[in-house]
Structure 1
Amino acid sequence: MYLAHLSLTDFRTYTQVELPLEPGVTVLIGPNGQGKTNLVEAVAFLSTLSSHRVSADGPLLRFGTERALIRARLVHGGQNTSLELEINASRANRARINRANPVRARDILGICRTVLFAPEDLALVKGDPGNRRRFLDELLVTLIPRSAAIRSDYERVLKQRNALLKSAKSQHYSRAGVSEGQQATLDVWDQHMAVAGAQLLAARLELLERLKPHLAMAYRQLTDGSKELKANYRSTLEGQLSDDGETDLGSPDADVQLAGLGVPELTRRYVQAFADSRRRELERGLSLVGPHRDEVELMLGSAPARGYASHGETWSAALALRLASYYVLLEDAQMEGNAPILILDDVFAELDTDRRTKLASIVSGAEQVLVTAAVAADIPRELRGVQIRVLPGGIVSDGE
């Protein structure tokens, strides 16, 4: 698969821009702040409906406007698919597929598959667990679009349950002081959250098992192979609540123990875990057990990558996570020409020569690679394809 044309209206700094593209490598070159990242951010947004730079949609709209449009023409094995995504300031986002009637934005998930590398990826290794959970969930949604509904259901139930617990805390409830009616209401939300949490946990565990061998291989490709990179899922379902109300996560091999369990058994375990933690959750006014507090622990050799990896090792681990996701998506491709688009956003300026060369040699054979750089000298020889200069508010191709 490749992107043949991108059109943006009132997206970020662009009033209007048209970007024709071809298979192979395209390099977007221009000084920082000119809009290179805005272009590739729009492509990636079509894939996950989220930005790697901001957590809300508001900043994606050009200042002073109420909506932005992303239009794209994709080529899958010789067949054209047009996508249009409308990002709105005051109502739900909408989409069109092949100019048909508007649909929900999430209905386009899975059509445009991308893997984006960016300097922000260091947070996948150095940052808090939320970054690694988000990485896993976004890959899950790209791979299995219906997972977006599972994730949305869990977040909705979590929000409702937290509101109930917070209300109980504000009224100084204790386990003994909660009425039968309040207990019954909590029991209902416990069941809802257990079902949604079990579905999300099962999907994450299955995906991580698929990711693990590719992660180890990708790290070896990027380094001298003297250390191995592993990922372990540490679930609050296997943990214990400490006296201060925090959850001690399960052991590093807890994912192996949980991976063989089905959704019904995981649901049962969540219901029990919620019952066991109810007193502390009422005292704290929030949910202490669930996928929203789980961790994907990266181990480099025998030590956690977070806090122990050098700067170079951290970059290699972050790149390996993205490469592993690319390999999983390639493995999943059911027809020729359905490979994901690779996006390397200002990555090479951050890497030493050795890592630049290794990463470039790995990705250069992809069907389509979009690269951004401030200067051409940052681009390895293997990735010096078609060059497009990005200017304030517009672009100029090589031939113009």
Structure 2
Amino acid sequence: MFVRQLALHDFRSWPHAEFTLTPGTTIFVGRNGFGKTNLLESLFYVATLRSHRVSSDAPLVRSGADAARITATVENDGRELTVDLTIPSQGANKAAINTRPVRRTREVLGILRAVLFAPEDLSLVRGDPGERRRFIDELVAQLRPMAAGAKADYDRVLRQRTALLKTAGAALRRGGDQAESVLSTLDVWDSQLAELGAQVTASRLALVRQLAPFVSDSYASIAPHSRPAFIEYRSAAGEEIDKSPGGDDEIDVIREVIAARLIEVRSKEIDRGMCLVGPHRDDLFLGLGDEPAKGFASHGESWSFALSLRLASVGLLRDDGVEPIIMLDDVFAELDVARRNMLAEFTADADQLLITAAVADDIPESIVGRRISVGVSEQDGVRKSVVIGDERIGDKKIGDKKMGEPATDEALGQGSQHNA
């Protein structure tokens, strides 16, 4: 699998950009803040319908623009599909596949599979549970696109149920018909939350069960002298769910557990005005030996665990029969020499490897390919990203040209067009 064409319109710092890409390695080099990461972010958005940096879509739209647009043509085993995503500054996103509009944006999920390594990955180990939930949900969306629909529906019900809980206490104190109405409505939301929550939880559990051996093996290869690593799912609804194998066959059982817990904690939820049970409160437990990684792992162990989660993601996607594109967002600057070389070796056989770096020297010498230099220009006080160079680097031969020599337009795939 690889991305052949990428076009951006008013996405972040790019008013307009078009890139023709090929299998193999492409490196985007430029100073921090010049827009390199935005390019990888756009492709990650196509793969997961979310950014790896922000929780909302509003920052993705260039300042002053009405909407951002991402168009990516993906080739997989000779089959070519073009995804077109429009992200308005306000309102719902729109999507098309091969120029044909789709009813739901999530129908594009699964067309592009990607794993992104980034400096923010350290928060998977040291950060809040929300970071780890996001990690699981991104993988679920790529492996089981249908499950992404249940997560979106769950989030909608959660927002509406939470809004009701915030006003329920006052209504119950007033009593009468208003109290009865609140309780009746809450029963309806409880039923929907339990059903959709069970679907989300079952998908997550199944994924964690599949991912766990890949994580253990990856960590052992990165840090062979460290304690063994493992991951487990931890549900806010209790250990009964944690022990479940997950998957569609377990949805009914999980639903009953969540429903029962909602009844148990209803008074607490009304008092606090918030939902205390459901997959939005769950976590992915990361363990090293007999201890949790969070709070006990050293800096090196934390980075090794974060890397192992991403390497395991690649392994899981490959095991599902599709080679994902791999993106490394300025991650070499965060790693020591041993981990740099390990990551370079692991990604050497990727169908497509996309790298960003502020300093080219951070990239191991074994990584060769095409290098695109990114800069900025300013007009009327507005900064925008531009491509300022496009060349081949390294000492491997590509066709009849030796890398490091000036490349022809054919070798560069006609380069890139930018800021038209």
TM-score (norm 1): 0.91
Question: Identity of counterpart residues, as a percentage?
Answer: 45
Of 124-133 and 219-228, the range deviating more from structure 2 = 219-228
> 2:416 aligns to what?
none
- Match among 234, 255, 271 for residue 242 of structure 2: 255
> 1:394 aligns to what?
386
Q: Give the superposition deviation at 1:187.
A: 1.7
Find the aligned partners of 1:258 and 1:82 in 2 and give their Cα distance. Answer: 36
Greater relative CO (CA pairs within 8 A, separation 6+): 1
- Match among 291, 299, 307 for residue 311 of structure 1: 299
- Determine whether 1:288 maps to 2:276: yes
- Match among 338, 342, 354 for residue 338 of structure 2: 354
Checking the alignment, whether the CA contact within 8 Å between 2:171 and 2:182 is kept in structure 1 is no
Find the aligned partners of 1:175 and 1:131 in 2 and give their Cα distance. Answer: 41
Cα distance change on mapping 1:258 and 1:214 into 2, 3 Å? closer
Q: Give the superposition deviation at 1:382.
A: 2.6
Cα distance change on mapping 1:63 and 1:227 into 2, 3 Å? same
Aligned length: 383
Unmatched runs of 5 consecutive residues or more in structure 1:
239-249
> 1:374 aligns to what?
358
Q: Once superposed, what is the RMSD of the aligned Cα atoms?
A: 2.0
Find the aligned partners of 1:80 and 1:178 in 2 and give their Cα distance. Answer: 57
Q: Give the superposition deviation at 1:53.
A: 1.3
Find the aligned partners of 1:175 and 1:361 in 2 and give their Cα distance. Answer: 67
Q: Give the superposition deviation at 1:182.
A: 3.1
1:167-316 paired onto structure 2 within 5 Å: 167-171=167-171, 173=173, 179-238=179-238, 250=239, 255-257=242-244, 259=246, 262-316=250-304
> 1:241 aligns to what?
none
1:142-161 paired onto structure 2 within 5 Å: 142-161=142-161
Cα distance change on mapping 1:258 and 1:63 into 2, 3 Å? same
Find the aligned partners of 1:74 and 1:61 in 2 and give their Cα distance. Answer: 23
Q: Give the superposition deviation at 1:151.
A: 0.1
Cα distance change on mapping 1:178 and 1:106 into 2, 3 Å? same
- Determine whether 1:321 maps to 2:309: yes
- Determine helix, strand or coil for the equivalent of 1:329: helix
Checking the alignment, whether the CA contact within 8 Å between 1:174 and 1:279 is kept in structure 2 is no
Find the aligned partners of 1:350 and 1:14 in 2 and give their Cα distance. Answer: 26
Cα distance change on mapping 1:375 and 1:131 into 2, 3 Å? same
Unmatched runs of 5 consecutive residues or more in structure 2:
377-384, 392-405, 408-420
Q: Give the superposition deviation at 1:191.
A: 1.1
Checking the alignment, whether the CA contact within 8 Å between 2:202 and 2:251 is kept in structure 1 is yes
- Determine helix, strand or coil for the equivalent of 1:383: coil
1:142-164 Cα distance to aligned partner (Å, 9 max, x none)? 11111111001111111111111
Of 217-226 and 308-317, the range deviating more from structure 2 = 217-226
Cα distance change on mapping 1:137 and 1:316 into 2, 3 Å? same
> 1:245 aligns to what?
none
Q: Give the superposition deviation at 1:59.
A: 1.2
Checking the alignment, whether the CA contact within 8 Å between 2:24 and 2:353 is kept in structure 1 is yes
Of 319-328 and 221-230, the range deviating more from structure 2 = 221-230
Checking the alignment, whether the CA contact within 8 Å between 1:109 and 1:142 is kept in structure 2 is yes
Checking the alignment, whether the CA contact within 8 Å between 1:117 and 1:347 is kept in structure 2 is yes
> 2:14 aligns to what?
14
Which residue type is aligned with residue 290 of structure 1?
G
Checking the alignment, whether the CA contact within 8 Å between 1:133 and 1:294 is kept in structure 2 is yes
Cα distance change on mapping 1:340 and 1:258 into 2, 3 Å? closer
- Determine helix, strand or coil for the equivalent of 1:226: coil
Find the aligned partners of 1:310 and 1:177 in 2 and give their Cα distance. Answer: 58
Q: Give the superposition deviation at 1:259.
A: 4.1
1:224-247 Cα distance to aligned partner (Å, 9 max, x none)? 243211111111111xxxxxxxxx
Which residue type is aligned with residue 299 of structure 2?
H
Find the aligned partners of 2:65 and 2:170 in 1 and give their Cα distance. Answer: 40
- Determine whether 1:384 maps to 2:368: yes
Find the aligned partners of 2:241 and 2:11 in 1 and give their Cα distance. Answer: 44
- Determine helix, strand or coil for the equivalent of 1:339: coil
TM-score (norm 2): 0.87
Q: Give the superposition deviation at 1:172.
A: 6.1
Find the aligned partners of 1:204 and 1:52 in 2 and give their Cα distance. Answer: 19
Find the aligned partners of 2:174 and 2:81 in 1 and give their Cα distance. Answer: 57
> 1:244 aligns to what?
none
Cα distance change on mapping 1:175 and 1:159 into 2, 3 Å? farther
Find the aligned partners of 1:309 and 1:174 in 2 and give their Cα distance. Answer: 51
> 1:138 aligns to what?
138
